[in-house]
Structure 1
Amino acid sequence: MSGLEHYLLSFIFHYRYIGLFTVLSFGMIGMPVPDEFIMAFSGFQTSVGHMDFMKTLLLASVGSFLGINLSYWIGRRLGIPFLHKIAPFLHMNEKKIKKAEIWFQKYGERLIVIGYFFPGFRHFVAYFSGMSEVDYRRYTVLSGIGALLWTSTFITLGRLLGKHWQEIVPLLHRYLSRGGLILALIIILAYLISTNWNKSKNYQE
């Protein structure tokens, strides 16, 4: 267990619900917080009676929901102009950015719920949802569903695993991190294929 993880677990052990709420809120904005690890520990705490299961689930869901919605508005505030500033580092030109924006507006909503389960990838989805101005009412509903599913999964897992949560959750977190990277690569590949397909189609016409 790293120093950060030990500190966060101690923080949640002492401050319980408000600690969990605070840590997940900042974690969803993008701070280096082992979210799944934190939730599993909290689930374990409910199994020994130190925390109440329903209160834990409620505060975790609200905290992650608040954090990911703040990420949306940060992305929306920064906007596509911010993406233009960092575009040279991403090897993107203005035309590619516009196509990426249109593509995300068309397909990105499908990633909001599932994105929660992949570390790193969930932040990308949140920020880019804001940058591409995905309808906020729709985003609110989907991010709320995702928050509830995500937190209930790991808190329940920690509760069921009991003292064995430290053996299973780090492995699960590692595989989900790799899965997020693979998912991001698949999305980029799908975007490139769809872009080239449309380019070829327009050329033939």
Structure 2
Amino acid sequence: MSDLISLETIEEIAQQYGYWAVFLGILLENLGIPIPGETVTLAGGFLAGSDQLNYWLVLANAVLGATLGGNFGYWIGRYGGWPLLLKIGQLFRFREEQLASLREQFSKNAAKTVFVGRFIALLRVFASPLAGIAEMPYPQFLLYNTLGAVAWASVMVTLSYVAGQIVPLEKLVEWASRFALLSFLVVVAWIAIPLWWESRKAKEVAEVTPVVEENAADG
């Protein structure tokens, strides 16, 4: 998403609005609004490394924005996410049974997904609504969402704070984007391959059943 807004512009926003930019950037990204929240957070840590912002205040705002954004996303998913997911699934020709299977699979790994999802492109946006759709118990979600927010913010802000004194911000953003994209592709494969395999097995069963019934009728 940072391709739509130049890095120079993001850095200027972080300089002008400081901690508010970090807080609102990651909060709005968690709500699905096209804001490069991770890049703004990296810019905030980078500015802290050059003594333009305070490290601890940048970290606190990143944690708070990520935590609140995740909570909003959870309740959006809890109260209106499943019908919306069904409509999106129809566009991509996913049957309701497949989506229900995906929801069940998410439920089994909900805690890990909410926590690790902070570090994965797009999943950072959708993990919380999916947790709501899967009706993950809220106390459990609150715990892992908060832990994930603290871990993610600590890594991003500290990385940009320390490494930013050695390498340019552009390189930091590039590294973070590559890692997030690679992680996202791994998750897509983890989800898509079982769905494809299930669909293939169902198709084979559908093709074999008429033959079996025909042989039974002839016998």
TM-score (norm 1): 0.85
Cα distance change on mapping 1:154 and 1:105 into 2, 3 Å: same
If asked which structure has higher relative contact order (CA below 8 Å, sep 6+), I would say: 1
Cα distance change on mapping 1:177 and 1:55 into 2, 3 Å: same
Provide the aligned length of Structure 1 versus Structure 2.
Answer: 197
**Kept in 2: contact 1:79–1:132 (CA 8 A):** no
**Kept in 1: contact 2:77–2:129 (CA 8 A):** yes
Question: Which of the two has higher C-alpha Rg?
Answer: 2
The residue number in structure 2 matching 1:156 is: 158
Deviations 1:72-109 (A, max 9, x none): 11112213222222332132222222222222212222
* Residue 176 (structure 2) pairs with residue 172 (structure 1): yes
**Kept in 1: contact 2:29–2:125 (CA 8 A):** no
**Kept in 2: contact 1:21–1:60 (CA 8 A):** yes
CA distance in 2, matches of 1:127, 1:87: 15
**Kept in 1: contact 2:26–2:66 (CA 8 A):** yes
TM-score (norm 2): 0.80
Instruction: Give the fraction of aligned pairs with identical amino acids, expressed as a percent.
Output: 23
CA distance in 1, matches of 2:200, 2:107: 18
Letter of the 2:141 partner, please give it.
Y
The residue number in structure 2 matching 1:66 is: 68
Letter of the 2:124 partner, please give it.
R
The residue number in structure 2 matching 1:102 is: 104
The residue number in structure 2 matching 1:200 is: none
Letter of the 2:32 partner, please give it.
G
Q: Once superposed, which parts of structure 1, at least 4 consecutive aligned residues long, lie more than 4 Å away?
A: 190-197
CA distance in 2, matches of 1:123, 1:15: 23
**Superposition pairs for residues 11-50 of structure 1, below 5 Å?**
11-50=13-52
Shift of 1:3: 6.3
**Kept in 1: contact 2:28–2:37 (CA 8 A):** no
* Residue 89 (structure 2) pairs with residue 87 (structure 1): yes
CA distance in 2, matches of 1:162, 1:95: 48
Cα distance change on mapping 1:89 and 1:159 into 2, 3 Å: same
Shift of 1:117: 0.4
Cα distance change on mapping 1:196 and 1:108 into 2, 3 Å: farther
Runs of 5+ consecutive residues of structure 1 not aligned to the other structure: 198-205
CA distance in 2, matches of 1:133, 1:50: 42
Worse overlay, 163-172 or 99-108: 163-172
Letter of the 1:183 partner, please give it.
V
